[in-house]
Structure 1
Amino acid sequence: MFHPGAPLQSSSSCDIAAVLERLAQVSSRPRYAFMLLNLIAQVAGPDGSAGPWIKRDNELVSLRDWLCDALTPMSHRVSRSAALADRVRRDLDRSGMLTGDAQETQRTIAEEMRARMRTTGKSNLSRAVSELVNADLMRRHYQGYHVDHRNRGGQRHAVYTLIGDARGLVSATSLTKHAAQGELALMR
C-alpha cells in the first residue's frame, strides 16, 4: 500500500535531485547536460560506459556523432535554420559546388547544413562533457587505433563512463528495459 509520507525505495534508484543540484552548481547549461547524461545512460552498458561505437539501425555510429544528432532537434528553430540555409547556399554558390539541378542543390545544401550543425554540436558536447567530468558525474577516455589513450587523435574515439550519482541513471534506463513480446530477456 502507498503511504504518502514514505519515500519510494529501490535498490537501483538514482537520486536525480542530487544530480540536478550538482549540475546547477557546475554547468553553464544544466538542462543540456542532464539531457546528455540521460542519452549516455540510454546506450551505456551495465558498467556505465558507452562508446566508442554504438549500433543504430544496423550500422555502427560513433557515440559523439549519435549524441550530436540526438540533441540537434533541441536547438532547431525555423529562423536559425533558414539563416543557416541561406549562408550555406551563398558559400556553396561562391565555391561553385552548386549545380543547375534543383534536387541536387537541395541535397548538397542539406548535407552541408548537417555537417555544420554536427560541428557546432560537437563543440557544445565537448564543453558539456568537460563540465560533467569536473562534476564527478562522468569519466572520459579514448579508444581506437593502437592503444587506449587519454588524448584525442590517432583515430581514437571517445568513451564516456557514468560515475557517482549519475551511475544510477544506467539502472533507471538501460538495465530495466523489457524484452519485446515473444523475445526472451537474457541477462549479461
Structure 2
Amino acid sequence: MIQADLFPIDKGEPVSGTSKTKVTAPSDMPSVIERLATSSSRPRYAFMVLNLIARAASESGEAGPYVVEEGKAVRLRDWLCDALSPMAQRDPRRIALIGRVRGELEEQGALPRDAKSAADAVELAVRLRVRASGRCNVSRAVSELVRAGLIRRHYQGWRVDHQNRGAQREAVYTLTPEALRSLRNCC
C-alpha cells in the first residue's frame, strides 16, 4: 500500500511544504521508450537509430539526405551504418566475416603481400559488406520508428521529392515534434 501524502499524483499541484512552484512533468522519454518496446522487434537498436537521427537533425527535426562529416557529404543511411558499426566489433559473426573476407581475397589473389596493406584491404572489404547489411538493418529500424509514429520518412532527389525511393532519391527522416522534444530534453 502506498501512503498518498508521500507521493503526490496531481501534476500541476505544488507539493505540500514546498514553494508554490508547479511540479513539472518529466520529459516524455518514457512514452517514447514504451512505444519502441511495443512496436519494434529490436527496441534498443531502434532507439540508437532514433538518437543518432536526432543528433544529425536540424532544428526543425529533419535529417538527410546527406550528413557532412569531415568536409564530405555522406548519405544519411551510410552515416548511420558507420556510426553503429563499432557496436559489432567483438561480435563472433563479425570476426567470422573478417576470416571469410581474408580467405576470399587470398583465393582471388587480391590480397597485398605487405601486412599493413593486406589488413587495410580486408578492413575496407569488411566495412563495405557491413555497410550493405547495415543499410538494411537501419531501414528496418526506421520503418519500425515510422510505425511507432516517431519519424516521418520521404525521399529527396534528382527532380521531385517523393514518398517512394528510386530514381536517384535519398532518404530524409523527420522527427515528430514529440520525439524531437523528448530527445532534445534528455540528452
Could you tell me the TM-score, scaled by structure 2's length? 0.81
Distance 2:89 2:36 in 1: 23
**Deviation, structure 1 residue 73:** 1.5
Residue 43, structure 1, aligned to residue 56, structure 2: yes
User: Match for residue 159 of structure 2?
Assistant: 146
Once residues 160 and 135 of structure 1 are traced to their aligned partners in structure 2, the CA distance between those partners, rounded to angstroms, is 14
Match of 1:113 among 117, 126, 132: 126
- More displaced stretch, 149-158 vs 24-33: 149-158
Alignment partner, residue 166 of structure 1: 179
**Structure-2 residue corresponding to 1:91:** 104
Shift of 1:52: 0.4
Give the alignment of 1:1-188 within 5 angstroms. 7-9=23-25, 14-77=27-90, 79-169=92-182, 171-172=184-185
Q: For 1:28 and 1:113, locate their aligned partners in 2 and report how far apart those are by CA, in whole Å.
A: 26
Segments of 5+ residues of structure 2 without an aligned counterpart are 1-14
- Measure how far apart 1:123 and its partner are: 1.1
Q: Distance in 2 between matches of 1:7 and 1:158?
A: 40
Aligned residues: 168
Question: Alignment partner of 1:46: what SS?
Answer: coil
Deviations 1:113-132 (A, max 9, x none): 10011111111101100111
User: Distance between the aligned counterparts of 1:75 and 1:62, measured in 2?
Assistant: 21
Q: Alignment partner of 2:68: what SS?
A: strand
- 2:29–2:183 CA contact under 8 A, matched in 1: no
Distance 1:161 1:55 in 2: 17
Deviation for aligned residue 1:164:
4.8
Deviates more, 1:51-60 or 1:19-28: 51-60
TM-score (norm 1): 0.80
SS in 1 for 2:154: strand
The answer (yes or no) to whether the contact 1:133–1:139 under 8 Å persists in 2 is yes
- Once the two structures are TM-superposed, the CA of residue 75 in structure 1 deviates from its matched residue by 2.2
